[in-house]
Amino acid sequence: MEDRKIKEILIEKNSAFKKLFLEHQELDVKLQLQLQKKFKSEEERIEEKNIKKRKLKLKDAMQKHICEFKKKLN
């Protein structure tokens, strides 16, 4: 089963995964807004790095859920 399909199932059936997914989406929007700025203050550059780090942590957590789901299928 594709990861995309597993993601859809987990979003629907797993509240913890859904929370991770929604937070990741929210951070993605914030990051896109940050990346559009041509000139950034030091504070904004730090915020951008923190957003990227948090997104990676969320992605890793979601991937862990996906791997666990795959193990249950086998």
Q: Residue 73 has what pLDDT? A: 86
pLDDT band for position 21 (cuts 50, 70, 90): very high
CA–centroid distance for 53 within its chain: 10
pLDDT band for position 40 (cuts 50, 70, 90): very high
pLDDT surpasses 90 at 46: yes
Round to whole Å and give the CA distance between 50 and 44.
Answer: 10
- Structural element, H or E, at residue 34: helix 15-36
Q: Residue 74 has what pLDDT? A: 80
Compute how many other C-beta atoms are within 10 angstroms of the C-beta atom of residue 58. 20
Average confidence score pLDDT of the chain: 96
Mean pLDDT of 7-28: 97
pTM of the entire predicted model: 0.90
